[in-house]
Amino acid sequence: MTAYINTISAEHVQRGVAGGFTQTDHGKPDRLRRLVRGDWIAFYSPKTDYPSGEPLRMFTALGQIADDEPYQVEVSPDFRPYRRKVEFLDCTPVPIRPLIEQLDFIEDKQHWGFRFRFGLFRINSHDFDVIRTAMTHRIAA
Mean pLDDT of the 109-132 span: 94
pLDDT score recorded for residue 1: 76
Taking 70 as the threshold, does the pLDDT of residue 139 lie above it? no
Give the number of other CB atoms < 10 A from CB of residue 40: 22
- Going from N- to C-terminal start, the domains of the chain cover 3-140
pLDDT score recorded for residue 2: 96
Question: What CATH number does the domain located at 3-140 have?
Answer: 3.10.590.10
Taking 90 as the threshold, does the pLDDT of residue 137 lie above it? no
pLDDT score recorded for residue 81: 94
pLDDT score recorded for residue 138: 58
Average pLDDT of the chain? Answer: 93
Taking 50 as the threshold, does the pLDDT of residue 83 lie above it? yes
